[in-house]
Amino acid sequence: MSLDLAAAPQFSLTAEQREIATLARDFAAREIAPHIARWDREHVFPRDLYAKLGDAGLMGLTIPERFGGAGADYLSYALALEELARVDAGTAVTLSVHLMIAAAIGKLGDAAQQERWLPQLASGAAIAGFALTEPDAGSDASAIRSTARRDGDHWLLRGRKQWCTNGGYAAVSMGMFRTGGPGSKGVSAFLIDHALPGIVVEKVTEKLGIHTSNTVDLAFDDVRLPASDLLGGEGQGLSNALGTLTTGRIGIAAQAVGILAACLDASVKFAKEREAFGKPIGAFEGVSFKIARMATDLEAARALVYRAAALCDRGESFALEASQAKLFASTAARTHASEAVQIHGGYGYTTEFPVERYYRDAKITEIYEGTSEIQQIVIARALLGRLG
Ligand SMILES: Cc1cc2nc3c(=O)[nH]c(=O)nc-3n(C[C@H](O)[C@H](O)[C@H](O)COP(=O)(O)OP(=O)(O)OC[C@H]3O[C@@H](n4cnc5c(N)ncnc54)[C@H](O)[C@@H]3O)c2cc1C
């Protein structure tokens, strides 16, 4: 049992925020926990689960009520993702990316785009994806080469996008393509309907962890997109994509917190039950101090995530805080997932216990939606400005 979210009085969670966290916790216990070992082993993307998450109101958690969503705030979003990630990090990232794109449509989309997509996304009938990365452009997203060429009332999309989360199941993706010259100003964002001809799933990526998350390479072969599917202004696609990722980072940080909480739950239980030299192993400082540090870093990570979410909810700037939350929570998740395996000894290395999955799942939180190095660049620039 980890320290409960109720142990965060400084954030004075509202009754609604607690209800959402409890809803997500109960949902995960009922609909995910009984299946997760098999889904992980067989790399299942549980598409039906997202209809159920829609029925529970979680697919539209932060989508405004007038579009069928719950209209909840980002602290609720962080709490829900933490609870889902505590049982399955793959489900958490699917929902995090989905809601990140819904938020982008809410912020950047026109009325027609919002009315077309947000109700479907809120119900879980449609899942959303994000397509920025390319084989030769990851951290340096300004180097993307995929193009969108204007052709009358349409755009012609051509190129290849790599590692698109949800890409094989998405009904719509926010995709960034080059509409102008080189550099960041030549990029525009589009809302791409996956039913259009010419979009091909070229490869389903095999990964170290998050096996229930779908990650694919998408090829765009002269996809004819109506001109009205431009999202935000022409030439503003990269800055809009990076702004979108700022809210996404709260979600990934919450995912890391959930993995860390799961590591603590499993480690406390095992340390009390497993005996060596005639005592529970938790009686040895070599084990109990690991657990003490794990619990402390969990609370520190939670506090950073809740702070970033609360700033976002108050309409204040939160880019620095979101990067700090992601940097700290992901490092802590990776570090303590390794310690959780260590506490479990040989059992920790087997699939009999879930900690080997947490260990595999934790690593990605340091990589996607900006690596830890990129988070440090964001944090340092906020403090120092651009010196070089
Ligand atoms: C499972 C998975 C899911 C993903 N989902 C999506 C998605 O849905 N949509 C999407 O668009 N992308 C997605 N990505 C891509 C992900 O965001 C990128 O992998 C990530 O941004 C890093 O880019 P890269 O892999 O090209 O690494 P690179 O940019 O090549 O970096 C390699 C290494 O160099 C370091 N580095 C690079 N630049 C600097 C610098 N200036 N200073 C210091 N160090 C630096 C990096 O931190 C890293 O350690 C996903 C990736 C994975 C693995």
pLDDT bracket for residue 3 (50, 70, 90): very low
Position 185 scores a pLDDT of: 94
Q: Which atom from ligand 1 is nearest to the alpha carbon of 377?
A: 42
**pLDDT above 50 for 1:** no
**pLDDT above 60 for 368:** yes
Mean pLDDT of the chain: 96
- Is the beta carbon of 89 within 6 A of some atom in ligand 1? no
What backbone phi and psi angles, to 5 degrees, belong to 165?
A: -65, 135
The CATH number of whichever domain residue 69 belongs to comes to 1.10.540.10
Q: Are residues 252 and 364 in the same domain?
A: yes
Q: Are residues 155 and 121 in the same domain?
A: no
Q: Are residues 99 and 183 in the same domain?
A: no
pTM of the model: 0.96
**pLDDT above 80 for 367:** yes
Q: Are residues 257 and 277 in the same domain?
A: yes
Position 241 scores a pLDDT of: 97
Active site residue 369: yes
pLDDT bracket for residue 7 (50, 70, 90): very low
Position 221 scores a pLDDT of: 96
**pLDDT above 80 for 2:** no
| Residue 262 CA, ligand 1 centroid: distance in Å | 26
Q: Are residues 123 and 137 in the same domain?
A: no
- Is the beta carbon of 163 within 6 A of some atom in ligand 1? yes
Q: Are residues 111 and 216 in the same domain?
A: no
Q: Which domain holds residue 96?
A: 5-127
Q: Calculate mean pLDDT across residues 44-59.
A: 98
> What is the number of alpha carbons within 13 Å of residue 321 lying toward its C-beta?
16
- Dump pLDDT digits (tens) for 104-152: 999 999 999 999 999 999 999 999 999 999 999 999 999 999 999 999 9
Q: Which atom from ligand 1 is nearest to the alpha carbon of 370?
A: 21
Q: Which atom from ligand 1 is nearest to the alpha carbon of 97?
A: 8
Position 318 scores a pLDDT of: 96
Q: Are residues 193 and 262 in the same domain?
A: no
**pLDDT above 90 for 39:** yes
- Dump pLDDT digits (tens) for 185-211: 999 999 999 999 999 999 999 999 999
**Which residues have a Cβ under 8 Å from the Cβ of 138 and sit 6 or more positions away?**
none
Position 10 scores a pLDDT of: 56
CA distance 164 to 170: 10
Which of 94, 371, 377, 379 to mutate to test ligand 1, by most ligand atoms within 8 A of the CB atom? 371
- Is the beta carbon of 252 within 6 A of some atom in ligand 1? no
Q: Are residues 196 and 321 in the same domain?
A: no
Pairing of strands 279-280, 128-131: unpaired
